[in-house]
Structure 1
Amino acid sequence: MTLVRLGYVAMSMELKNASPSQTMTFTQFQKIADREAAIRKLERIARSNLTNYIAITKTYCCIRNPLLPINFKTDSTSISSGAFGLGFYHANKRFIKGTYIQEHQLRVDFHPDHFVLLNTPNKDVFHQSILTLKMHYLILKEMKIDPTHRCVIHVGGKYMDKEKSLEQFIETWMDVPTGIQKLIMLENDDTSFTLEDTLYLCQKLNIPLVFDYHHHLALHQDSNWQRQWDSIVQSWEHSPLPIKMHISSPKSEKSFRHHADYIDSKLFFDFLHEIRGSIPQIDCMIEAKQKDKALFKLMEEIKNRDDVEVVDGSSFNLK
């Protein structure tokens, strides 16, 4: 049997007034003449975001979903990630130090936005990307969580020449600090870098691949991903974590690349039936507009299936 654990981006559609993504742009920060007041406002935003993260985690991960692999989504286009870091020492210490997370076996991953580019030829952009990743590394260390394979990024920009861009990733990878290298997982995207492209880098640089099934269908609907599955699994051989994938559903045929509100369980199980028994466990991160509601709705549908054995509110075994 294969154990399937479901998770979602740490935002809630059911908890009211609990947004963990309040932001303050650099422009807004600069407009506050009193620098001390600006920093205090930044720290208030950080404390609020962290408090809401904790509320979401406690309410939905530990009561309804005790083994929920959770993803703290961060946005490098604003100071929300920075605010998260600055607010550490003003937040719930037990949560931040990782005890709460370890007690409830939560998987904590980060997913910086697309402005983190390791294959950029622009040295300033590369330097800023490393700083952003370093901040995530330090956050995990502060939480007493092993940073190994906790941060999902895309390959980056295509820059008019995909082959050259792939080689640029390899070249700049040599300039990435070792600790940051170990932090990284790579995800195939839906417009530029296919599963095969991403696997090429993962195999060459020993990086785990987070398979995004929806992205693959959007970019390569006629491609036989099953032929690559063993290679995907092998990319996780040296990781202390179970294999991770992203699951989402097309909004419509016309807007195929856009995420739907909920998960199409048939599409999901088409995938699961192909990989059943090939691995002992897989963590599936739901990317749906309705966040936690999408997980709850999917689990309600799963409970009525005869090819699964439900473990808890977010986990099940494939028979």
Structure 2
Amino acid sequence: MAAIELNNLSQTAKLNPKTKPELGLVCITVDKQVRFRTMTRTYYLKLNLTQREAALQEIYQHNLQRLHDALSFCEANKIRLYRMSSALFPLSDIEDEIGANILETMSADLSKIGAKAQQLNIRMVLHPDQYVVLSSDSPKVVETSIKILARHARNLDLLGLPCSPWSLMNIHGGKSQRSQQLVKVISELPTNIKNRLTLENDEYAYSAAEILAVCQQAQIPMVFDAHHHICHEKLDSYNHPSTEAMFYAARETWTHPDWQLVHISNGEQTFNDRKHSDLITAMPNIYHQAPWIEIEAKQKEVAISHLRSWWVMGQ
């Protein structure tokens, strides 16, 4: 891992948040209050055009109501960060454009959701699926990836969410050793995609230092994931000096440092296990300095409540 000296970072990066970190809910709840419907592409293609439209109309209306419920759940549980499901509007990027056209007709309903989030001061973000690979050596894969991002960006526009990293779309670096390809593709993205795009380090292809370099060149924010970092570097503690160094280095990539978002998960069986555990029982000390933390644990809202009981309250 490339060395990053803490004393070389600007003092403005070392913020002391006035409030405790906001812990974010990822997509659904354990108690089934927040759930979304979907449909497979295989099943969809068996339907005629009229059936397709009716099916997607029903699913989108259902999921939009569940998204409203998710915001209500967050309000009731004092959660101010919510990651929307990337499958919120399934098949809306398919070639027949039926789903895309339905969403346009639903624009008034979608905008009410964004207004509700703003009213409740809840930050809504997105993590597109693993099929988005901007660093692929296949032009077709890159083209498809951009199309997926464009659809998500349009959905965020319809929701009335800001065209900025406040309402970010976070992806991984993708194919390893393709940093310059990644920078080039990002530089050519439409503004409603690029202005929301963030990159996250992973366990395999891109270390924290490597994804940091891409973010610096592409001039987009970095979402630091401490668990991916310790897995990639084979560390035995979240409090290894490199974790703090990478946290502060990532903060430098955010134009608004108080918008910095990080991820946390714990290993299921062992510390370095890549599979997520039910709860979060270990946290990096430096994360007390994080304004926004997505909690990637299987028990969702239960994990947030547990983390509040022993970690947030212990600040």
Range of TM-score over shorter length: 0.7 to 0.9
Q: Aligned partners of 1:94 and 1:154: how far apart in 2?
A: 27
Q: After superposition, what is the alpha-carbon deviation per residue over 1:102-142, rounded to whole angstroms, capped at 9, x for unaligned?
A: 11101011100110011112122111111111111111211
Query: How big is the shift at 1:51?
Result: 1.3
Verify: 1:52 aligned to 2:66, yes or no: yes
Distance in 2 between the 1:63 and 1:242 partners? 23
Q: State how far apart, in whole Å, the 2-side matches of 1:92 and 1:300 are.
A: 39
1:286 deviates by: 0.5
The answer to whether structure 1 residue 227 and structure 2 residue 245 are counterparts is yes
Deviation at 1:289, TM superposition (A): 1.0
Separation (CA, whole Å) in 1 of partners of 2:259 and 2:227: 20
Distance in 1 between residues matched to 2:274 and 2:287, nearest whole Å: 23
What is the DSSP-based 3-state SS (H/G/I as helix, E as strand, rest coil) of the residue aligned with 2:141?
Answer: helix
* Residue 292 (structure 1) aligned to one of 301, 304, 307: 301
Structure that is richer in strand per residue: 1
Q: Which of these residues, 116, 129, 132, is aligned with residue 100 of structure 1?
A: 116
Which amino acid in the other structure matches residue 32 of structure 2? L
Offset at 1:8?
Answer: 1.4
Which one of the candidate residues 21, 24, 49 is aligned to 1:4? 21
Name 1:68's counterpart in structure 2: 80
Q: What do you get for the CA RMSD once the two structures are aligned? A: 2.7
Render the CA deviation track for 1:134-177: whole Å, top value 9, x for unaligned. 1111112112211212100001122xxx2xx1122123234322
Unaligned runs of 5+ in 1: 309-319
SS in 1 for 2:183: helix
Instruction: Find the residue that maps to 2:195 and give its secondary structure.
Output: helix
Q: Tell me how far apart the structure 2 counterparts of residues 49 and 296 of structure 1 sit (CA, whole Å).
A: 25
Q: CA deviation at 1:231?
A: 1.7
User: After the TM superposition, which residues 160-175 of structure 1 pair with which residues of structure 2 at under 5 Å, given as runs?
Assistant: 162=177, 165-175=178-188
- Kept in 2, the 8 Å contact 1:46–1:84? The answer is no
Asked whether the equivalents of residues 22 and 292 of structure 2 are also in contact (C-alpha less than 8 Å), the reply is yes
Return 5+ residue gaps in structure 2 as ranges.
1-15
User: Residue 254 of structure 1: CA displacement?
Assistant: 8.2
- Please say if 1:140 is aligned against 2:153: no
Partner of 1:151: 169
Contact 2:127 2:171 (8 Å CA) reproduced: yes
8 Å Cα contact 1:96/1:143 also seen in 2: yes
Which of residues 191, 196, 206 in structure 1 aligns to 2:209?
196
Matched pairs, number: 287
**In structure 1, what is the Cα distance between the partners aligned to 2:132 and 2:40?**
17
1:263 and 2:283 are equivalent in the alignment? no
CA contact (8 A) 2:38 2:59 kept: yes
Are positions 1:211 and 2:224 aligned together? yes
Distance (Å, rounded) in 1 between the aligned partners of 2:124 and 2:194? 18
Cα distance per residue 1:76-116 (max 9 Å; x no partner): 99627775984464488276452211111010111001100
CA distance in 1, matches of 2:107, 2:64: 7
Higher relative contact order (CA 8 A, sep 6+): 1
The answer on whether the counterparts of 2:135 and 2:179 sit within 8 Å (CA) in structure 1 is yes
Contact 1:77 1:115 in 2 (8 A): no
TM, length-normalised to structure 1: 0.81
Distance between the aligned counterparts of 2:265 and 2:151, measured in 1?
28
Take 1:147 and 1:85, find their aligned partners in 2: how far apart are those partners?
A: 21
Q: CA deviation at 1:15?
A: 3.5
Partner deviation per Cα, 1:284-310 (whole Å, 9 max, x = no partner) = 00111111221122223347x4x33xx
Please give the alpha-carbon distance, in whole angstroms, between the structure 2 residues aligned to 1:80 and 1:10. 18
CA contact (8 A) 1:50 1:84 kept: no
2:200 maps to 187
CA offset digits 1:265-292 (Å, max 9, x no partner): xx21xx1x3355xx5x510001111112
Q: What is the alpha-carbon distance in structure 2 between the residues aligned to residue 53 and residue 88 of structure 1?
A: 17
The 3-state SS of whatever aligns with 2:121 is: coil
Question: Residues 188 and 181 of structure 1: is their aligned pair in 2 closer, same or farther, counting only changes over 3 Å?
Answer: same
Cα separation, 2, equivalents of 1:132 and 1:27? 18
| AA at the equivalent of 2:65 | T
Structure 2: distance between partners of 1:141 and 1:258: 33
| Number of the residue aligned with 1:131 | 147
SS in 2 for 1:219: helix
CA distance in 2, matches of 1:88, 1:261: 38
